[in-house]
Amino acid sequence: MGWRKGVDKGSNLRGLNRGPMSIVLQVLGALVLVVVASDAFTNAVEWMGAIFGLTRSAVGSVVAAIGSSLPETMVALIALLVLHDAQSHAIGIGAVLGAPLMLSTVVFCLIGVTALSRGVKGVPGALQVPVPDTLFGTGLFCATFALALAASFVSGLVSHVAAAVLVLGAYALYLAYHLRSDKPEADESPPRLRIAPKLAQPPLALVITQLVVALVLTIVASRWFVASVGLASQTLSISPFLVSVFLTPIATELPEVSNVLLWMRRGQDELGLGNVLGAMMFQTSITCAIAMIATSWQLDESARVAAAVALLSTLFVLGWTALRRRVEPLALAAGGVFYIGYVAYVIART
């Protein structure tokens, strides 16, 4: 039972009752800590962007995207690099692929449904999002994710390192596109700093303090979460990958969803969609690169189907936007159909 030894070592849970109720409480406790810590981290990262006067494009697509991607990235890092047992690796792969799957289907759907429910200004049936930015983001994601998926069909560290370098290069291209020199746009300040809610303009030192504390808490919560998911997988007799690919994004994407819905309610469609596309690129580039180097990256059928569903959902939005020359809610809302399709596939397979 080598995987249990690894889980115990990583979670410091020796001696605890491993009954179903205990495992449920452990998973819920880890989820709460992950969400609270990542919310504080995202809040601090947004203030960093505001202090340094970044453009709206950079804040939504890069700064906030990296901040809200931290939880699932940390779960993957802990599972793949710290805990070396096979079960933890399966959980890590689930986190790596689960985030793009959730973002490109469920979160796309939420954006589309929110736009349809509130109505949109300007062009009927379209979000107020620059078409070139959307085409660039969805197109680069599809190319990058397709490369990462293709790498799973070949073996050998050299091939995987080469693929990892290419996907990291793709993210560098994405950063260059959104951080290109532009005049900073006037925008409202981020929500008050969590540790200094009375200060309208917190000093940089406080922002950095919150950033560091939140990062430490996220690492602790992620390690606890990986261990809890491993125990839940054993108890339910379900593949740790399947538990992770569904459960991890539900918890770790909560900050993403809250940011997106807040921006959409404010009519800041560019920030909402840009944040999601930025998180998708970050996950596909950074975490996939780590997974390709740290593991054998030989995905099973469920993992490859999950990746294919995320790719197809994004290709659908890319094609629709290219043909219509505007970003329409219906194309994004269709992501929910792709997610339901994957759930049906998993149920039928098991």
Q: Would 1 be classed as within a structural domain? A: no
* 140-144: Cβ within 8 A, 24+ apart: 140/170, 140/173, 140/174, 140/281, 141/100, 141/104, 141/277, 141/280, 141/281, 141/284, 141/314, 142/311, 142/314, 142/315, 142/318, 143/170, 144/170, 144/171, 144/281, 144/284, 144/285, 144/288
Q: Would 76 be classed as within a structural domain? A: yes
Question: Which tens digits make up the pLDDT trace of 145-190?
Answer: 999 999 999 988 899 999 999 999 999 998 888 777 454 444 556 7
Q: Would 333 be classed as within a structural domain? A: yes
**Domain containing 280: what range?**
18-349
Q: Would 8 be classed as within a structural domain? A: no
Q: Would 62 be classed as within a structural domain? A: yes
Choose among 322, 282, 285, 278: nearest CA to 144. 285
Per-residue pLDDT for 322 more than 90?
yes
* CATH code, domain with 234: 1.20.1420.30
Q: Would 225 be classed as within a structural domain? A: yes
Q: Would 3 be classed as within a structural domain? A: no
Please, which pLDDT band fits residue 15 given cuts at 50, 70 and 90? very low
Q: Would 5 be classed as within a structural domain? A: no
pTM of this structure: 0.76
Work out how many domains the chain is built from and give that number: 1
Question: Which tens digits make up the pLDDT trace of 121-156?
Answer: 444 456 888 899 899 999 999 999 999 999 999 988
